[in-house]
Structure 1
Amino acid sequence: MTALGQTTGTLRHFLLGNRNWLAAGALLTLLSSFGQTFFISIFAAKIQADFDLTHGSWGAMYALGTSVSAVVMLWAGGLTDHFRARTLGMVVLVMLAVACLLMALNPYAVLLPLVIFALRLTGQGMTSHIAIVAMARWFVATRGRALSIATLGFSFGEAVLPIIFVALMTLFDWRVLWGLAAAIALLGVPILARLLHEERTPQSMATENQSVGMDGRHWTRTQSLGHPLFWFMVPALLGLSAFGTAFFFQQAHYAAVNGWTHLSLVALFPIYTGVGIVAMVVSGFALDRFGTARLIPFYQLPLVAGFLCFAAADRLAIVALGLVFFAMTTGANSTLPNAFWAEFYGTRHIGSIKAMAAAVMVLGSAIGPLITGILIDWAVPLGTQYVWVAAYFAMTTAAMWFGVARARLRLTVAA
């Protein structure tokens, strides 16, 4: 049998043997879309018009709700170390549906930060966190493959939902569409229950398939905070979330100032999704072969090229090229950072450690729209801002390389 045949057979066996758990992860990552910035930003122009908000005031409300959700995630994320993904996931999906209904029914601008808080905590925060932690804990030798497959839900949501909902907004009021989102989230509850009717518990799987980190031990969240590597990773965690979020958050404004229709811009997103899926799958297999230490320091380099394309774009073809570079990083981001915490800090406390990282990313997603919104109000063009963003990602690459180069020596000790 050829090497390709052996690889295909192994992958088929892996998918069939773990189909329910992988499908549950993909379902959760897909449904997290309703709390992700790329989805909420579809309605940005409608929300600003209905509530008479400037870019800066809308960005500030979004930042406030998102920042509070980041703080709550520090506590809520640790629940994955104590409760089954099935039980916790069903509860969070119901809460996500309620959050979508709040957006559909809310008549007051002053309540928007509360609505954003609910959407961000239950969607971007907990729904995706439950899926990622489950994959990192349940799979050890095949962790990269499991993460790349389960996180396909993110890619599918990014590719399909903007086009569908932007098109539906030509037929229905935007509030009706949030009611539809609530119904879809509720539909996920019985599906998740069915997929995880024979679920692995966090405690048993952590005991049976323990994966230690640096120095051959399991690190607690407090110990992780005290280690320099975490702080070398923070700029990268913060930056991708902040400026990746900002790009999607300002998509309607970006299209308008360049003379394109919103629909023509979102029509490019399937390119982003397709490249992201390829990057996700390739990074997953590369992760299982080489480990995160060799790969993660350089995974944000394509963002430098991507944001330079966005800054210089005078036609949609250049935006498409920028999205290709952007997707190379976001695809790898679905696997590398999520496996990084388990590889360097162990799996016993992965829920609480990952929650800390998730809180940083959620905080970043609050900062990005706020900064770009204020700068737009101050007449700083998005093109200028994106040049600064490209320089920022060059800096994060240098920081990760330095931090990981020092820490990987302690992985050798563990081995």
Structure 2
Amino acid sequence: MGSFFLSQTRLLLFGFFISFFAGFGQTFFISIFNLEIRGLLNLSDGQFGILYSLATLASAIVLIWFGKLIDTMDLRIYTFIVSLGLACACIGMFFLTNSLFMLFVLIFSLRFFGQGAMSHTGTTTMSRYYVSDRGKAISVGSFGDVLAMMTFPIIALYLIQLIGWTHAWLFSGLSILIIFFPLYLYLLKNQTLLHKEFLKKTNEITLQKSWRIRNVIIDKNFYVYLPISIAPPFILTGLIFHQVFIITNKGWGMELLASSYIGWGIFSIIGLCIGGPLIDKVNTKKAIPYYLFPMLFGILFMMFFEHSIFIFLYMALLGITNGLWLPFTGSLWVELYGVKNLGAIRALMHACMVFASALSPIMLGLIIDYRFGTFTIGLFCVVIILFSSYFPFIFRN
């Protein structure tokens, strides 16, 4: 284990930090500014939810094309483009006016460059340059995402109180330019040599099939494993986006919710620590049918119990599946389709994931609008989990 961390420390740190700074484009950060954004443009919850989902859907479509460029473009240039885009989007929020079009463009940019391209860059890099330790590498990189989720909402609330919400966005954008830019240039200092070694190893695998997007979308395995790969972002985004409704109906309170995010983060880390080494030892296709089970039990706790202790069990079990999801899905597509065109294939998968995360706020919002409660929301999520796990379980051998 020690030799793994020491062998390519810079590359592992790059995966960690790009996942960390991608947090500025994630729902858990943007949703902190929900009230201020809606107040500025006089939007209802539903109106902002629709705009947010449409911008996210648009970002998913563009990512299918843009994501494959990582296969042919120097990683340092690609990282420069996506991180500069996210920084500009954050700074743009500082200048936001009473314009729906401007808000749409900025939300699109935050989602595309943050949740989309930067997260895609981190996972693709870890998957591509590691073979025997791929699971552990993806887990290390994914620590950045988990740490961002644990800290960014708290930092955002503090900055809003200290300097105001628009200046909090300005601070976020400047932190990318001042901290991440010089950091990633240092961490990718030996990228040219590293990529040459990767190309040499890839060319030596002469019998490996070169999968392209057109081959993938007609392959049975793609449709067997797609639902279970996008189920966590679909469910988690919907539950987080409508978390105020859920905790209000359960009588849990915002203070308990804020505290429970610490448990989410801790158990996400536990999931990462379990998932990474596990898939380095076993076939991912055989293990993946079971990784949604912690989330299943967490949602069942939310559905049937009211006591405040169950918010911590609910969030902890969601956190375990969130931690398992990152290395499991990162490794799965490499096992199925290899690394030669990994950027294009992962871009397709990431776009599907973003597309799913855009749909869930609308679908769960409709359940709420039709005056159904948390039990119906939970039941809907349980059906998604069982359906998603069925086909990978049948075809696991």
Partner of 1:411: none
How far has the Cα of 1:385 moved from its partner? Answer: 0.9
In the alignment, structure 1 residue 142 sits paired with structure 2 residue 133: yes
In the alignment, structure 1 residue 234 sits paired with structure 2 residue 249: no
Q: For each residue in 1:15-47, what CA deviation from the matched residue of structure 2 results, as whole angstroms up to 9, or x when unmatched?
A: 122110000010000011011111111222332
Q: Find the partner of 1:122 among 113, 123, 126.
A: 113
Contact kept, 8 Å, 2:251 with 2:306, in 1: the verdict is no
Unpaired segments of 5 or more residues in structure 2? none
Q: Find the partner of 1:92 among 70, 82, 85.
A: 82
Percent sequence identity is: 26
- In structure 2, distance between residues paired with 1:119 and 1:229: 32
- TM-score normalised per structure 1: 0.89
Partner of 1:265: 257
Contact kept, 8 Å, 1:55 with 1:376, in 2: the verdict is no
How far has the Cα of 1:367 moved from its partner? Answer: 0.3
Q: How does 1:102-181 map to 2 (within 5 A)?
A: 102-111=92-101, 112-181=103-172
Aligned length: 394
In the alignment, structure 1 residue 287 sits paired with structure 2 residue 302: no
Partner of 2:388: 396
Residue 229 and residue 46 in structure 1: after superposition, are their counterparts in 2 closer, same or farther (change >3 A)? Answer: same
Q: Secondary structure at the match of 2:202?
A: coil
Q: Which amino acid aligns with 1:17?
A: S
Q: Secondary structure at the match of 2:162?
A: coil
Q: How does 1:242-391 map to 2 (within 5 A)?
A: 242-391=234-383
Residue 139 and residue 200 in structure 1: after superposition, are their counterparts in 2 closer, same or farther (change >3 A)? Answer: farther
Q: For each residue in 1:76-98, what CA deviation from the matched residue of structure 2 results, as whole angstroms up to 9, or x when unmatched?
A: 11011011222211221111011
How far has the Cα of 1:291 moved from its partner? Answer: 2.4
Contact kept, 8 Å, 2:40 with 2:98, in 1: the verdict is no
How far has the Cα of 1:130 moved from its partner? Answer: 0.7
Partner of 2:33: 43
How far has the Cα of 1:260 moved from its partner? Answer: 4.5
- In structure 2, distance between residues paired with 1:171 and 1:253: 27
Q: How does 1:60-79 map to 2 (within 5 A)?
A: 60-79=50-69
- TM-score normalised per structure 2: 0.93
Q: For each residue in 1:328-357, what CA deviation from the matched residue of structure 2 results, as whole angstroms up to 9, or x when unmatched?
A: 211111101111111111110110001000
Q: Which amino acid aligns with 2:388?
A: T
Out of 283-292 and 262-271, give the one that drifted further. 262-271
Out of 59-68 and 12-21, give the one that drifted further. 12-21
Out of 170-179 and 256-265, give the one that drifted further. 256-265
